[in-house]
Structure formats: C-alpha cells, structure tokens
Amino acid sequence: MRAVVIRTFGDPAGLEVVEAPAPVPGPGQVGIATEAIGVGGVDAVIRRGQLAAYGFRAGHLLGSEVAGTVTAVGEGVDASWRGRRVWAFTGLSGGYAERAVAAVEDVLALPDGLTCAAAVTLGGSGPVAHFALERARFAPGETVLVRGAAGSIGVTAVQLAAEAGAGEVAVTTASAERGARLRDLGATLVLDRSGGGDDGKAASGFDVVIDVVGGPQLPDFLDRLNPNGRYVVVGVVGGQPPADFGARLLAAFRKSLSFATFSTDSVPGPERRAVRSAQFAAAERGALRTVVHEVLPLDQAASAHRRMDAGEVFGRIVLTP
C-alpha cells in the first residue's frame, strides 16, 4: 500500500510517499480501507520534531484519524463490523495510508448521511472542543475567547459556545475574510492574532480562554482573563509558551485565575464515544457544521502541511488515497 512517512523531521519536504506492507488487524482491532484521512495540527507538531521526547523516529507513519470501510477484523471482534463505514482513531500513527488498523473501541460507525470527509473533520476535534469547554466550567452568559479559531477545533468550539449561550464569543484569526466566516459560525467579536480589535486595542475581559496556539504570546492572553477566569490549552501549534509563563498567574494572584492543559486522552472512552456519536448525529442533520478546507490526494501530504505551516487552512485539509 502507499503511505506517507517522515523521512526527516522539520520542513514538509521531509515527508515521503512510500510503499509499505498493509497492516493486519490484531486481537481487538479492525482493518480499514481508508477513504478520508484527517490532517491535524498534532501531525504538524510531530513532523517538526517538537514531540521527539515521545519517541517519534525517522520513518514514522503519520496520521491519527481516518474514515472508510472495515475490511477485516481481528480476533475477538464481532464479524458484523465488516463492510461498515466507520470513523477511527489510529493513535498518533498509521493514518496517512491506504489501509489502517484501529482498536475496535476507537472505532465508531458513521451515520448514513455523514461523509467520510466530514467525519475526519469533526471526529477528533469535536470532542476536544466539547470537553475543553467542560474543563473550563463554562456557563451560559460567560464570555469566551477561542484563540486560533480557524482550525477544526476552533471552528467547533465557536459553534458550541454560541449554541450554549455564551455572552460573547471572541476569536483570534489571521484575516477579515476568516473573521467573517467565524461570525457566520457564531463568533461575535473578531480579533487579530495578537488579540487586537478593529480599533487596534487589545481586547480583554474574558471568563474562559480556549487556546489551540500556545506559543510565546500565551502569557499576554492570560492577562486578559476576568477575575476567576479559566484558561485551557488544547494545542501548541504555535510552539511552546515561555518557561516562566506561570509568573503571570502569580502576578495576578488576587484574580484567582486557573490554568489547565487538556487532552481527550484523560477522558474515559465511553464518554468520548457518546459525545462523538452525538456530534456526528448533529452534523448529519446540519445542527453542527463541519468545514473542509480542501481535499487532496495522499501523495500531496507535504503540500497540505505547507498550507498549515503558512496559516492558510480554515477548517481541515482531508487526504484521500
């Protein structure tokens, strides 16, 4: 089968299309013929070498989520999975390929009216947005800032916060055109990447910040929290924050601010499945919108990563075998 591996870490040019043996499902796994492959921010972070401490090495086969048809089942798996259209989480590897395997507990059957492309746009990012707002103890009427709102996590977080009755949904994004699209999804205040508004002044006064970006500007956004405000980081696509960012929290001691990181790895599997299933159903009936930036063939994975690195993507790029 064709697959995309990291030959050298760093620039997208280090991605290479190779011929690799098709994986065989082991006990508790299913084999999937992929029809859509999600290209996520974590893929770019791994490709850049920023997660080398987790053991990623040259030759790593990228990809975390796929959608397609189950073609084989491993020992202990109900044979009725064969032939079903599914979304699947493959871990942090194995998705950029014509065939993939996944543990059956990380596989979810797709509603008939949901495309595979929509599934990989929402399946991984949607629960992150849901549980991040839950972790932030968001309540109706509160003001929410989604930092880095143009990605698939941000797109969903904006919709969920607006639907849940946020007093204001602010977003940071790179252009007026993206701002208009985010307003259409529920944003009420559009800021530039530095947090400045249309008048050039920095916006502040947020009860909750959901941050996909991280990076050197993170402490500046901590300063914009209201008393008892909660800040939740769900990604670091902009790099690691300064090592001393906690000093800003201590400097604002009397505001009783809270800071947390969040990964869906900390959520029990049945809870993730329940939320993902509900979101797929909502997307099928049009109550939750998925945004596919572009569909590219698998051999253009490097091009997809270049678009991400350049900040050109609104929603998610999807690869097809």
Provide the percentage of residues in the chain whose pLDDT is more than 90: 91
Instruction: Give pLDDT tens digits for 115-129.
Output: 999 999 999 999 999
CATH superfamily of 2-109+291-320: Medium-chain alcohol dehydrogenases, catalytic domain (3.90.180.10)
Q: What is the pTM of this model?
A: 0.94
pLDDT > 50? residue 91? yes
Q: What are the structure tokens assigned to 261, written together?
A: 């990181």
The per-residue pLDDT for 286 is 96
Q: What are the structure tokens assigned to 230, written together?
A: 């909660």
How far apart are the C-alpha atoms of 204 and 170, rounded to whole Å?
10
Instruction: Give pLDDT tens digits for 130-145.
Output: 999 999 999 999 999 9
* Average of per-residue pLDDT across 158-177: 95
Residues of the chain with CATH 3.90.180.10: 2-109+291-320
* Helix runs in the chain, H state only: 41-47, 116-122, 125-135, 152-163, 176-185, 218-222, 246-251, 269-284, 301-309
Assigned CATH class of 126-264: alpha beta
Instruction: Give pLDDT tens digits for 171-204.
Output: 999 888 999 999 999 999 999 887 876 545 567 7
Instruction: Give pLDDT tens digits for 258-315.
Output: 999 999 999 999 999 999 999 999 999 999 999 999 999 999 999 999 999 998 999 9
pLDDT > 70? residue 51? yes
Please provide the average confidence, as pLDDT, over all residues in the chain: 95
The per-residue pLDDT for 199 is 47
